[in-house]
Structure 1
């Protein structure tokens, strides 16, 4: 009896699984129709309803990611793509190619050209005849080359600016050192000048004193000469008196 109940339970389980999968497909198809009409918000709801029933459904996950891309939520979409890429080896070739292609487009939008190249190559391994993917690969390779060239030029500019700054700093340091040396030399010369000043002052005082003494002696001689002249005149006056009228 227990074995019969178990079988019945399995039958019910399979029945529910088949019904659930059918509902998932219906929701996914409904989402696809809304997606084609560019009603992305409504399409997203349908895909999420399908994933509530079967979170691992590849179609619902892939189309949900595409819807997120159209509504500018690339980060969320990329997470879904990357999860699907983990199982890329067991996916049908066309589905795997589409997932890798879309992941490459997201990488291109973020200017992660190296990642985009990797994804496009992965897509072409599954579908080598896809001309759009091949074109995107060539474009990503060209953009990566340009990006690397720009980075090299920017790095060279930064290096040149850094070297110029170092030269300017060194020149400024040399000027400061030169000024400091000049100040030190001036400080060394200052005591010598201070020692010379009293000597010069003393010399000037002696010179002035000699000049003053000579001038005094000369005045003294002149005074004595005048006194002698006055004495001689007085003596002459005594000998010859003036006439009376």
Structure 2
């Protein structure tokens, strides 16, 4: 099935997760449709994201604050602080494993959510929430482990697209702040896309008013989806 054959639905207005005091509306692809990794790749190019089996995009009336962003990896140039983050983590080994339940993965996820997102709608974490958020039977998803010896420091959930990689979510040891593990995970995904000769790493949505999303603009060059066209950020 191609993206043009899909039906789409909108939610009722709900509290915006990014901007205080605003309501949001979400457009999502028919969850009963025969979604495939290829269709999802097409939709990613149109600004859609995956959360579990659901493929969605903000569709708010009178607001365009949520902007899809992606890194054209072949021309990416790391900044000095990103180079330092890369070097700080060279003692970690990287393992790509199946996107399936793992007690160790969930334990790290639960610690991360409790430490970093206690005030959000992801708290308290549960095994069901974890599965429904990160796994999907039709997506080509890998779990990228970052370890030192046997110890798991971070895990990046990454979707393989026909024209790139999509950084779905990364969680890590909340006590290892000096390592900049979130930055390191993105840098690894950029290098992996380069290695595969893929053009893009998709980073999801950037909202200017949301401080926790500011890090995305530090990866340059960066393309923004504005009125259906991918444009280089200035």
Do these two structures clear the TM 0.5 threshold for a shared fold by scoring above it? no
More strand by share: 2
TM superposition score normalised by structure 2 = 0.24
**Quick check: which has more Rg, 1 or 2?**
1
Structure with larger RCO (C-alpha < 8 A, sep 6+) = 2
More helix by share: 1
TM superposition score normalised by structure 1 = 0.23
